[in-house]
C-alpha cells in the first residue's frame, strides 16, 4: 500500500505499539498509550498509518479493530469539520474516545482515497471491513465525484475482478455509495443514475452467476449484499435505468428464483449446507437474509411503483407493465408469493420476515382486479392457513414468555418493535385480514368469521388443550382487527355484546396467560359500542383493572396499555369502576413502572391523570416522588444501555411528561399556588439530574429531556407564582448547556428564564452560587449573553427570537430602578435588530423592549435612542402600534407613552414636545383597546371558571376531549377507499388516485404556519368607555394565562398619576397638547382622567 510522502510525521510501529497498549490492564501504561494516540491525531500521516495497520500481516485482530475504529471516527468527524466545531473546546480533548477535532492534510486524503477499497479487500475480519465501508461513505459524502472521480472505476474493477474478496469489497463500497443517495429527491439523483447505469448490468450478472452456481455461505452473503444495493437504489425513487424493460425483465426472474430456492434442513446434507436450527440464528443466516432482500424488493416494486393510481407520472409506464393486463409482472410473481406462504403448510420453514413481506405483497394484490382474481380461489387458504395461524401466539413465544418475560415485553411492546416490525408476521397478517374484509368484503368476511368461529367452538370442546387455546388467541386477534368493520356493520354491530360476553370477556380470567393477554387486547377495541346491559360495562372495567395486578408481567403490561383506551373512551359506568379504586389503579401503574419501561404504559398513566385530575391531590406528592425516582432509574439504565431500541430513553421522557401533566392539573384545582409549592420538592431531583447529567454524567447525556425539564420549571413558576431557590442554581448550568449544544432550544430557555425573572427579580440580581464563581458571570450577565447570542443567530427564525425579545422586556419591567446601567445597551440592542427585522410580531416585541426601557426611565431611554434618531424611531413605533394585538403589548406601549406626560417641555427634546398631541391620541386609542380586551378576557375567565365548577360538580374530573384523528373509515395509509369492491374492479381507479408526487402511499403531512398576521381589534377609534361590549373583539390574543409585571397597573389611575404628579409646566403642556385634538378625543381623555382620579383614590 502506498504511504504518505511525509513519512517522518508519524511512526506506524510506535502507533501500533500504542494501540496494542490501549488494552493493557496496567492503568499507567494504558493512559500513556492513549495520550500518545490523542497527540498523534494532530500529526500528518495519522490516518494513513491507521489504514496500513488495519491490513498489516501479523497484527493482532483486536489491534486491527482498534485501528479501524480510530480511522472511522477520525474520518467521520474530521473529513469535513463543521464551522461550529473548528474552535470548539473539543479540539483539546484528551480522551481517546472523545469527538476531538483535527485537520487532515491534502496528501493524506489522497492516499486514503486511493487505498481504501484495496484495504477492504485485504481485510479478513467482517467488522473491520464494515468499518472501512463506513469510511467510504463518509468520504464519498464530501468528495464524490469532484475530488474522488475514480471511485466508480475502483468499484467496477472490483466487481469485474473475479476475486471473491475484491468483489465483496466492491459490493460493500457500492452499497454505501448508493445508501448516500437513496433518500435524495428526484432532482438530486444524477450521480446515482450514473452509478446505477454503470454498475447494475455487472451486478445482475454477478447475482445470476452466484445464485445459479454457488451455495456457500460466502455466496449467500454476496447475493444478500447485491439485493441490498438494488433495494437501496429503489427505496424512495425508481432510477430511470431500472425502469428499462430489459432491466426489469432481467432482475424480476432472479428475485423470483431466489424466493423459490430450496433451503433444506441441515440434517439432510443437501446444498446449501449448514442451515441453523435455532429460529433467531436462521434469520441471520446469509441465504435467508438474501431471500428477505428478494421479498423486500418485490414488495417495494409492487406497493410503491407498481400500481398506477398511486405513482407519479414519471413511473406510470413502469406501473402499467407491472400490474396491467393478464400477462403483467404482478400476475407472474403472485404464484411464487403464494408458494412461499405455503411453506409452513408443506412442513417447510420460512422466516418471519419473509412471511410478512410476502403477506404485504398479497395486501397490494387485493386492491387490483387482475391480481385479486388470481387470489380469489386461494382466499380460504390465505385465511385458514396463513392469516389466522400467524395471528396466534406460537409455542416459541410461550417458551420465551416462560424463560424471560421481560425480554418478551421488550420485544412486543418496545418502540423499536413498533417502528421496526419487519420480523413480525402478525402485523402483516392482521393488515391483510383487515384489508381483505374491508375492500373485498363479500368474498372474505364470511370466510373469516366462519374460520374464527370454528376456532372458538373447537376451544370450547377442548378446553385445557394448548393447541386449541393458542388457536383461540388467533381468533381473538382477528376479532380485534375486524373491530372497525364489525362496529359499522348493519347486522353484526348488534351482535357484538353477546359475542364479547361469550367469547372474549370470560378469557380475561383464563388460566392461560396468553389468552388473558389476547382478550385484554381484543376488548380494548370495543369500549365505544352500544352496551345494553350495564353490568357488562362494569365487568369489562373490573376485568381489565384486575389484570393490572396479574401474576404475569406481559399481561400486566398489556392491561396497562389497554386501559388507556378505557380512560379515553370508556363509558360512565366503566369510569365509575375506575374512580372507586383510583388509588389502587395509580399504585398499579407505579408498580408496573418500577418493573419495566414501556412507552404506552406511561401514556396511559398520563391519560388517567388528565381524566381524574381533580382527584389526584391526595396522591400528588407520592405520585410525583415515584415518577421522579422512575425517571432517575430509567436515565441511569439508558446511559448504560447499548440496545439500539432501548425503551428506557422514551420512558424517562414519559416520566417527565407525566410529571408535567400532573402539575398542570393542579392549576385548575383549588388553591393551585399552595399545591404547587407543596409538591415542588418532589420533582427537584429530576430537574437537577437533567441539568447536571446525574451522578457521573454530563448535561449532554440528558439532551433528550431538556425541553421537558424546562417545561416543568415553567409550570412550577407560573402556577406557583414563585421561584424555588434551587432554580437559580440551575441558571449557570442552563447557560453552559445553551452555549455548548442547546441554542436550538431558545424558545424553551427564554420562556423559562422569563418566569424566573418575573416571579423573583430580587434573586436574579442578588443570588450567586459556586457555579457563578466558576464561570465568572452573574446570572443576569449570563441571561443577557444568551439573549445577545439568540438575537444574533441567523439560523434561528424570527418567531423564535421573539421569545427572547419578550424575556428582555419582562426583565426590564421586573427590575424597575435596579438596572440603570443596562438600559442604554438594551435600547441599542433592540434598535440594532429592529432595523433588519421582517416579521411584524418580532418587530413589535423589539419595539416593546424599547417601550419597556422608556417605561423604566424615559430620559435614559431617549439618550440611548439619540436625539437625531427620535423621529425615525417614533415613526416606526407609531406604525407598529397597529400590530400590538396582545394585551401585554398594548399595555407596555400605553405605560411608556404615559411616562412622557410627567416631564416638562424643558426636560424633553423639542421633537417630543412637537408630537405631544399625537402621544395623547395614541394613549386614548390604546386605553380604549385595552379596556375592550380586559373585558373580553374577564368574560373568558368567567366562562372557564364556570366550566371548572361544572366539572367539580361531577363525580369525575375534567379531561380534554380525546381527538381520535384516525377515522374508522381510513385504512393504514389514511385513505378512505371504497368498501366491498367487486372482483372485476380495482379498489382505486386512476381517477380516484393521484399521479402527483408524494401522494397515495407516499403522502406526507405538510404543516402550514402563519406569521402571526391577525386583524386588529375593532372599535379603536370609538372613544367611549362606558358599557362597551367585547363581543365584537377578535379574541386571538386574549390569553388569560399570560402574566406580566404590568398586570397590576390600573391604566386609568396610571394616566392620572403621571399627569397629576407632574410639575406644573408638564401639566400645562398636557392641557395645551389636548387643545387641538378632536372633540371626541378630548372628551375621552377627560373621562379617562376623571376615572383615573377616582380609581387612584380607591387604590390608595
Contact yes or no for 4/12 (Cβ under 8 A):
no
Closest CA to 891 of 931, 861, 856: 931
How far from 306 is each of 232, 299, 313, 1044, CA to CA, in Å?
17, 9, 12, 59
Contact yes or no for 621/612 (Cβ under 8 A):
no
**Number of neighbours of residue 180 by Cβ within 10 angstroms:** 18
Interatomic CA distance for residues 857 and 860, integer angstroms: 6
Interatomic CA distance for residues 245 and 541, integer angstroms: 59
**Number of neighbours of residue 422 by Cβ within 10 angstroms:** 15
Kindly give, in sequence order, each residue whose CB lies less than 8 Å from that of residue 47, ignoring residues fewer than 6 positions away: 71, 74, 75, 104, 108, 112
Contact yes or no for 540/497 (Cβ under 8 A):
no
289 backbone dihedrals φ, ψ, rounded to 5°: -65, -35
Cell of 688: 437537577
Contacts 24+ apart (CB under 8 A), 260-265: 260/336, 260/339, 260/340, 261/211, 261/287, 261/291, 263/287, 263/288, 263/291, 263/349, 265/349
Interatomic CA distance for residues 82 and 240, integer angstroms: 35
Interatomic CA distance for residues 564 and 874, integer angstroms: 56
Interatomic CA distance for residues 812 and 826, integer angstroms: 9
Kindly give, in sequence order, each residue whose CB lies less than 8 Å from that of residue 860, ignoring residues fewer than 6 positions away: 820, 823, 824, 853
DSSP helix, strand, coil percent of the chain (3-state; round to 5)? 70, 0, 30
Cis-peptide, bond into residue 655, ω within 30° of zero: no
Residue 246 half-sphere exposure toward CB, CA atoms < 13 A: 4
Cell of 252: 424480476
Q: Report how many helices (DSSP H) and strands (DSSP E) the chain contains, helices first.
A: 55, 0
**Whole-number pLDDT of residue 83:** 55
Cell of 327: 400477462
For residues 125, 130, 132 and 136, what is the CA-based torsion angle, rounded to 10 degrees?
150
Instruction: For 613-625, give one letter per residue: b (16+ CB within 10 A) or e.
Output: bbbbbebbeebbb
Could you read off the pLDDT of 195-229 as tens digits, one per residue? 999 999 999 999 999 999 999 999 999 999 999 99
**Whole-number pLDDT of residue 848:** 97
CA angle 1092, 1097, 1100 (to 5 degrees): 120
Interatomic CA distance for residues 689 and 547, integer angstroms: 34
Cell of 782: 449570563
Interatomic CA distance for residues 5 and 985, integer angstroms: 71
Could you read off the pLDDT of 993-1007 as tens digits, one per residue? 433 333 332 222 222
Rg of the chain over CA atoms, in angstroms?
35
**Number of neighbours of residue 197 by Cβ within 10 angstroms:** 15
Cell of 617: 391531590
Cell of 763: 434573586
954 backbone dihedrals φ, ψ, rounded to 5°: -80, 165
Could you read off the pLDDT of 763-779 as tens digits, one per residue? 999 999 999 999 999 99
Kindly report whether the global pTM for this prediction surpasses the value 0.85.
no
**Whole-number pLDDT of residue 1016:** 28
**Whole-number pLDDT of residue 573:** 94
**Number of neighbours of residue 1021 by Cβ within 10 angstroms:** 10
Closest CA to 638 of 693, 692, 687: 693
In this prediction, the residues of the chain whose per-residue pLDDT falls under 50 are: 1-7, 84, 87-99, 416, 418-422, 639-645, 696-697, 953-974, 990-1041
Beta strands, E only, 435-566: none
Kindly give, in sequence order, each residue whose CB lies less than 8 Å from that of residue 762, ignoring residues fewer than 6 positions away: none
Contact yes or no for 411/405 (Cβ under 8 A):
no
Contact yes or no for 561/593 (Cβ under 8 A):
no
Interatomic CA distance for residues 307 and 322, integer angstroms: 8
Contact yes or no for 233/178 (Cβ under 8 A):
yes
**Number of neighbours of residue 1082 by Cβ within 10 angstroms:** 16
**Whole-number pLDDT of residue 670:** 73
**Whole-number pLDDT of residue 37:** 87
Cell of 133: 465501508
Interatomic CA distance for residues 49 and 337, integer angstroms: 51
Closest CA to 74 of 34, 112, 47, 48: 47
Q: Which residue has the cell 402478525?
A: 426
For helices 286-305 and 245-260, what crossing angle results, to 10°? 140
**Number of neighbours of residue 813 by Cβ within 10 angstroms:** 25
Contact yes or no for 864/823 (Cβ under 8 A):
yes
Interatomic CA distance for residues 627 and 602, integer angstroms: 10
Cell of 396: 416459541
DSSP per position, 922-986 = HHHHHHHHHHHHHHHHHHHHHHHHHHHHHHHHSSS---PPP---S-TT--TTS----SS--TTS-
Sign, Cα dihedral of 1014, 1018, 1021, 1023: negative
The mean pLDDT of the chain is: 87
Interatomic CA distance for residues 614 and 957, integer angstroms: 5
How is residue 343 annotated by DSSP? T
How far from 997 is each of 185, 239, 1027, CA to CA, in Å?
11, 15, 56
Interatomic CA distance for residues 521 and 557, integer angstroms: 11
**Whole-number pLDDT of residue 420:** 47
Cis-peptide, bond into residue 272, ω within 30° of zero: yes
Amino acid at each position: 500500500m502506498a504511504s504518505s510522502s511525509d513519512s517522518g510525521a508519524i511512526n506506524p510501529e510506535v502507533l501500533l505499539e500504542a494501540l496494542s497498549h490501549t488494552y493493557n490492564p496496567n492503568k499507567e501504561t494504558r493512559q500513556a498509550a492513549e495520550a500518545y494516540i490523542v497527540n498523534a491525531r494532530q500529526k500528518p500521516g495519522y490516518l494513513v498509518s491507521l489504514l496500513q495497520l488495519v491490513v498489516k500481516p501479523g497484527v493482532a485482530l483486536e489491534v486491527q479493530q482498534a485501528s479501524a475504529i480510530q480511522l472511522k471516527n477520525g474520518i467521520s468527524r474530521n473529513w469535513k469539520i463543521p464551522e461550529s466545531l473548528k474552535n470548539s473546546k473539543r479540539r483539546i480533548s484528551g480522551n481517546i474516545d472523545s469527538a476531538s477535532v483535527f485537520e487532515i492534510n491534502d496528501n493524506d486524503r489522497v492516499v486514503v482515497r486511493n487505498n481504501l477499497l484495496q484495504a477492504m479487500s485485504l481485510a479478513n475480519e467482517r467488522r473491520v471491513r464494515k468499518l472501512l465501508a463506513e469510511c467510504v461513505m463518509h468520504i464519498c459524502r464530501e468528495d464524490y465525484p469532484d475530488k474522488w472521480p475514480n471511485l466508480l472505476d475502483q468499484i467496477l474493477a472490483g466487481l469485474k475482478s473475479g476475486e471473491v474478496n475484491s468483489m465483496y469489497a466492491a459490493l460493500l463500497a457500492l452499497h454505501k455509495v448508493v445508501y448516500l443517495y437513496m433518500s435524495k429527491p428526484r432532482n438530486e439523483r444524477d450521480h446515482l443514475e450514473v452509478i446505477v447505469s454503470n454498475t447494475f448490468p455487472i451486478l445482475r450478472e454477478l447475482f445470476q452467476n452466484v445464485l445459479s452456481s454457488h451455495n456457500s455461505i460466502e455466496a449467500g452473503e454476496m447475493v444478500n449484499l447485491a439485493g441490498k444495493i438494488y433495494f437501496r437504489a429503489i427505496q424512495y425513487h425508481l432510477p430511470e435505468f431500472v425502469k428499462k424493460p430489459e432491466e426489469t425483465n432481467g432482475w424480476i426472474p432472479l428475485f423470483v428464483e431466489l424466493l423459490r430456492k430450496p433451503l433444506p434442513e441441515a440434517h439432510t446434507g443437501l446444498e446449501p449446507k449448514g442451515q441453523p436450527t435455532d429460529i433467531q440464528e436462521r434469520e441471520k443466516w446469509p441465504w435467508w437474509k438474501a431471500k428477505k432482500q428478494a421479498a423486500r424488493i418485490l414488495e417495494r416494486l409492487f406497493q410503491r411503483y407498481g400500481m398506477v393510481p398511486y405513482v407519479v407520472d414519471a413511473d406510470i409506464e413502469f406501473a402499467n407493465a407491472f400490474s396491467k393486463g393478464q400477462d403483467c409482472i404482478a400476475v407472474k410473481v403472485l404464484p411464487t408469493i403464494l408458494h412461499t406462504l405455503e411453506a409452513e403448510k408443506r412442513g417447510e420453514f420460512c422466516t418471519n420476515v419473509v412471511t410478512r413481506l410476502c403477506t404485504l405483497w398479497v395486501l397490494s394484490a387485493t386492491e387490483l382486479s387482475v391480481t385479486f382474481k388470481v387470489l380469489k380461489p386461494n382466499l380460504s387458504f390465505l385465511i385458514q392457513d396463513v392469516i389466522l395461524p400467524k395471528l396466534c401466539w406460537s409455542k416459541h413465544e410461550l417458551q420465551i414468555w416462560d424463560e424471560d418475560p421481560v425480554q418478551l415485553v421488550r420485544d412486543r411492546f418496545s418502540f423499536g418493535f413498533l417502528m421496526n416490525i419487519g420480523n413480525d408476521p402478525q402485523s402483516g397478517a392482521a393488515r391483510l385480514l383487515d384489508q381483505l374484509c374491508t375492500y373485498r368484503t363479500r368474498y372474505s368476511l364470511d370466510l373469516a368469521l366462519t374460520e374464527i368461529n370454528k376456532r372458538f367452538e373447537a376451544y370450547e370442546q377442548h378446553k385445557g388443550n394448548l393447541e386449541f387455546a393458542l388457536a383461540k388467541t388467533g381468533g381473538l386477534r382477528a376479532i380485534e382487527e375486524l373491530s372497525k368493520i364489525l362496529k359499522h356493520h348493519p347486522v353484526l354491530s348488534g351482535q357484538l355484546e353477546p359475542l364479547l360476553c361469550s367469547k372474549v370477556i370470560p378469557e380475561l380470567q383464563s388460566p392461560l396467560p396468553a389468552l388473558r393477554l389476547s382478550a385484554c387486547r381484543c376488548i380494548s377495541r370495543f369500549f365505544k359500542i352500544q352496551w345494553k346491559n350495564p353490568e357488562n360495562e362494569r365487568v369489562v372495567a373490573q376485568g381489565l383493572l384486575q389484570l393490572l395486578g396479574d401474576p404475569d408481567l406481559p399481561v400486566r403490561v398489556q392491561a396497562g396499555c389497554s386501559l388507556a383506551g378505557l380512560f379515553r373512551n370508556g363509558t360512565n359506568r366503566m369510569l365509575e369502576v375506575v374512580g372507586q379504586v383510583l388509588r389502587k389503579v395509580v399504585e398499579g401503574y407505579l408498580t408496573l413502572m418500577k418493573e419495566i419501561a414501556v412507552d404506552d404504559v406511561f401514556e396511559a398513566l398520563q391519560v388517567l391523570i388528565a381524566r381524574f385530575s381533580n382527584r389526584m391531590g391526595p396522591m400528588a406528592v407520592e405520585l410525583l416522588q415515584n415518577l421522579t425516582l422512575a425517571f432517575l432509574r430509567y436515565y441511569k439504565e439508558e446511559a448504560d444501555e447499548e440496545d439500539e431500541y432501548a425503551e428506557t430513553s422514551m420512558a424517562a421522557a414519559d416520566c417527565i411528561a407525566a410529571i408535567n401533566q400532573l402539575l398542570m392539573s393542579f392549576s385548575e384545582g383549588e388553591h393551585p399556588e399552595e399545591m404547587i409549592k407543596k409538591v415542588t420538592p418532589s420533582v427537584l431531583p429530576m430537574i437537577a439530574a437533567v441539568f447536571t447529567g446525574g451522578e457521573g454524567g454530563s448535561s449532554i447525556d440528558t439532551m433528550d429531556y431538556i425541553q421537558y425539564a424546562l417545561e416543568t420549571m415553567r409550570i412550577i413558576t407560573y402556577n406557583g407564582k414563585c421561584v424555588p431557590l434551587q432554580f437559580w442554581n440551575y441558571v449557570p448550568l442552563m447557560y453552559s448547556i445553551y452555549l455548548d449544544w442547546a441554542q436550538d432550544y431558545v424558545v424553551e430557555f427564554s420562556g423559562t428564564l422569563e418566569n424566573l425573572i418575573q416571579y423573583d427579580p430580587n434573586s436574579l440580581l442578588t443570588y450567586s452560587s459556586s457555579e457563578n464563581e466558576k464561570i465568572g458571570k452573574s446570572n443576569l450577565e449570563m441571561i443577557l449573553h444568551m439573549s445577545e447570542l439568540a438575537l444574533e443567530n441567523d439560523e434561528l427564525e424570527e418567531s423564535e427570537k421573539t421569545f427572547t425579545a419578550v424575556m428582555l422586556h419582562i426583565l426590564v419591567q421586573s427590575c424597575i430602578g435596579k438596572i440603570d446601567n443596562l438600559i442604554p445597551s438594551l435600547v441599542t440592542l433592540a434598535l440594532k435588530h429592529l432595523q433588519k427585522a421582517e416579521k411584524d410580531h418580532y418587530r413589535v416585541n423589539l419595539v416593546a423592549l424599547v417601550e419597556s426601557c422608556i417605561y423604566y426611565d424615559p430620559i435614559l431611554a431617549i439618550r440611548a435612542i439619540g436625539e437625531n434618531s427620535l423621529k425615525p424611531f417614533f415613526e416606526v413605533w407609531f406604525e407598529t402600534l397597529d400590530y400590538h394585538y396582545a394585551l401585554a403589548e398594548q399595555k407596555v406601549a400605553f405605560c411608556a407613552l404615559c411616562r412622557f406626560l410627567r416631564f416638562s417641555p424643558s426636560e424633553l427634546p423639542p421633537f417630543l414636545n412637537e408630537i405631544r398631541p399625537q402621544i395623547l391620541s395614541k394613549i386614548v386609542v390604546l386605553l380604549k383597546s385595552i379596556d375592550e380586551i380586559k373585558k373580553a378576557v374577564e368574560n373568558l375567565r368567567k366562562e372557564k371558571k364556570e366550566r371548572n365548577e361544572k366539572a367539580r360538580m361531577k363525580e369525575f374530573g375534567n379531561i380534554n376531549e380525546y381527538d381520535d384523528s384516525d377515522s374508522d373509515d381510513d385504512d393504514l395509509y389514511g385513505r378512505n377507499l371504497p368498501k366491498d369492491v367487486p372482483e372485476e374492479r380495482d379498489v382505486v381507479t386512476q381517477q380516484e388516485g393521484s399521479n402527483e408526487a408524494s401522494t397515495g402511499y407516499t403522502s406526507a403531512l405538510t404543516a402550514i404556519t402563519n406569521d402571526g398576521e391577525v386583524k386588529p381589534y375593532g372599535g379603536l377609534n370609538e372613544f367611549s368607555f362606558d358599557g362597551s361590549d367585547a363581543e365584537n373583539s377578535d379574541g386571538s390574543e386574549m390569553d388569560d394565562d399570560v402574566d406580566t409585571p404590568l398586570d397590576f397597573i390600573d391604566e386609568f389611575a396610571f394616566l392620572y398619576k403621571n399627569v397629576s404628579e407632574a410639575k406644573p409646566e408638564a401639566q400645562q403642556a398636557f392641557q395645551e397638547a389636548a387643545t387641538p385634538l378632536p372633540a371626541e378625543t378630548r372628551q375621552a381623555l377627560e373621562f379617562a382622567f376623571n376615572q383615573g382620579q377616582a380609581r387612584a383614590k380607591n387604590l390608595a
